[in-house]
Amino acid sequence: MSTVSASPDTADTEPVPGKVFRSELNPVDFLHRAAYMYPDKVAVVDGERRYSYRQLAERSWRLANALRSAGLAKGDRVATLLFNSPAMLEAHFGVPAAGGVLVAVNHRLAGAEVGYILAHSGARYLLLDAGLEALAGPAGRAGVTVIRCAGSGGPADPYEQFLAGGSPVRPASWLEDEGETISVNYTWRSRPGHRRLRTAA
């Protein structure tokens, strides 16, 4: 059975005359719908790699299920310190699909700022590009489960091995209210003699 064969518009409950049903807004639904409507269209281009919308969805669901299998609980912070890559895109869908809160860290920040964000956000997991290992620093990774990403897409890539352990079937949503936090974003502003990080959920 296809992992994206179910219509995104199919309700979980049978229609009841005279009763209004509410569907929570969930950005993960956009990927589910794209995979249903355009399964074979190219969604991701990264060098020689090409992923269709079906493949992108399945990889995102694998990430979500692998995170749950690794112990992720609802609301756990999952940080990313990655270059623009398939893994970064998959995290934007896979982390909220898992029930986690995405903390995408800007790799252009200084090491001390990266460490501050990891500590301040309470990150429990970190998707870390191998080329940014030094930027994360050991202090910022204390108590954090690190999932390394070599960016190769090959079977020896630790990130690909992590995905392989997860099911390609979309996990049941833990979202109960569309007002719940699914990401925490840090920005910075700088002026002469002053540099300050700000956060927004």
> How do residues 79-133 score in pLDDT, each as one tens digit?
999 999 999 999 999 999 999 999 999 999 999 999 999 999 999 999 999 999 9
**How would CATH label the architecture of 28-170+181-200?**
3-Layer(aba) Sandwich (3.40)
Nearest CA to 34 out of 114, 89, 83 is that of 89
CB atoms within 10 A of CB 111: 14
Task: Determine what percent of the chain is predicted with pLDDT higher than 70.
Answer: 82
> Residue 106's Cα: distance from chain center in Å?
15
Confidence of residue 73 (pLDDT cuts 50, 70, 90): very high
Q: Rounded distance, CA 56 to CA 42, Å?
A: 9
Query: For residue 131, what are its two tokens?
Result: 């080329």
Task: Determine what percent of the chain is predicted with pLDDT higher than 90.
Answer: 72
| Helix ranges (DSSP H) in 152-191 | 158-164
User: pTM of this prediction?
Assistant: 0.85
The mean predicted confidence, pLDDT, of the chain is: 88
